[in-house]
Structure 1
Amino acid sequence: MAQEVTQELAQEILGDIDNFLFDCDGVLWDVKGPIEGSLETINKLKALGKRVCLVTNNSLKTRQKSVRKCQRLGYQICQDEMLCTSWIAAEYLRSINFTGKVYLVGPEDSMGAELDAVGIKHIGTEPEPAVIPSYADCLANLKLDPEVKCVLVGFDRQFNYMKMLRASSYLKNPDVLFLGTNPDHLLPVKSDEFCIPDTGCILSPLVLATGRQPTMMGKPSPNMFEVLRKVHGLDPSRCMMVGDRLDTDILFAKNCGMHSMLVLSGISTVEDVQSAGASDATKACPDFYAECLAAFGQFV
Structure 2
Amino acid sequence: MLSALGRIDNFILESDGVIYAGEKLLENAQESINTLQNLGKTILYYPNSSTRSRESFKQKLSKFGIETETNKIFTPSYITAEYLKKYHPEINKVYVLGKEGLKEELQLAGLTIIEPDDFEEHTNASSEILKNFDINKEIGAVIVSFDESFSFKKVMLSSLLLERKDCLFIATNNSKYLVVEGKKYPGVGPLIAAISKVSNRSPDIITCRPNPMMTHLLTENLPEIDLSRTCIIGDSINTDLSFARNSGILSMLTLSGVTQPQELETVLTTDINFVIHSLGKIYQVLNR
TM-score, normalised to structure 1's length?
A: 0.87
The 5 A counterparts of 1:143-292 are 143-145=132-134, 146-191=137-182, 194-214=183-203, 215-233=205-223, 234-276=225-267, 285-292=271-278
Cα shift at 1:19:
0.4
- Pair 1:42–1:149, CA change in 2 (3 A): same
**Would you say 1:99 and 2:85 are equivalent positions?**
no
Gaps of 5+ in 2: none
Contact 2:15 2:47 in 1 (8 A): yes
Gaps of 5+ in 1: 1-9, 279-283
How far apart, CA to CA, are the structure 1 residues paired with 2:152 and 2:271? 37
Contact 1:100 1:150 in 2 (8 A): no
Cα shift at 1:114:
1.3
Cα shift at 1:141:
4.1
How far apart, CA to CA, are the structure 1 residues paired with 2:90 and 2:261? 43
Structure 1 segments of 4 or more deviating over 6 A? Answer: none
Cα shift at 1:252:
0.9
The 5 A counterparts of 1:52-131 are 52-96=43-87, 97-107=89-99, 109-124=100-115, 126=117
How far apart, CA to CA, are the structure 2 residues paired with 1:255 and 1:156? 27
Structure 2 counterpart of 1:83, which letter?
Answer: F
Contact 1:105 1:125 in 2 (8 A): no
Cα shift at 1:138:
5.3
Helix, strand or coil at the partner of 1:226: helix
Cα shift at 1:139:
5.3
TM-score, normalised to structure 2's length?
A: 0.90
Give the equivalent residue in structure 1 for 2:30: 39
How far apart, CA to CA, are the structure 2 residues paired with 1:20 and 1:293? 11
How far apart, CA to CA, are the structure 1 residues paired with 2:118 and 2:232? 38
**Would you say 1:294 and 2:280 are equivalent positions?**
yes
How far apart, CA to CA, are the structure 2 residues paired with 1:268 and 1:125? 37
Cα shift at 1:137:
4.9
- Pair 1:92–1:226, CA change in 2 (3 A): same
Structure 1 counterpart of 2:189, which letter?
Answer: G
- Pair 1:255–1:270, CA change in 2 (3 A): farther
Helix, strand or coil at the partner of 1:187: strand
Cα shift at 1:23:
0.1
**Would you say 1:50 and 2:41 are equivalent positions?**
yes
Cα shift at 1:58:
1.1
How far apart, CA to CA, are the structure 2 residues paired with 1:204 and 1:277? 30
Contact 1:273 1:285 in 2 (8 A): no
Cα shift at 1:208:
2.5
How far apart, CA to CA, are the structure 2 residues paired with 1:126 and 1:240? 43
Stretch of structure 1 that moved more, 17-26 or 69-78? 69-78
How far apart, CA to CA, are the structure 2 residues paired with 1:285 and 1:149? 39
Q: Once superposed, what is the RMSD of the aligned Cα atoms?
A: 2.0
Give the equivalent residue in structure 2 for 1:13: 4
Contact 1:56 1:84 in 2 (8 A): yes
Cα shift at 1:199:
1.2
Structure 1 counterpart of 2:216, which letter?
Answer: E
Structure 2 counterpart of 1:85, which letter?
Answer: P
- Pair 1:81–1:125, CA change in 2 (3 A): farther
Cα shift at 1:271:
4.6
- Pair 1:219–1:273, CA change in 2 (3 A): farther
Helix, strand or coil at the partner of 2:179: coil
How far apart, CA to CA, are the structure 2 residues paired with 1:66 and 1:56? 9
Instruction: Tell me the alpha carbon deviations over residues 19-39 of structure 1, each in whole angstroms, 9 at most, x when there is no partner.
Output: 011000100001241101110
Cα shift at 1:13:
0.8
Cα shift at 1:220:
1.2
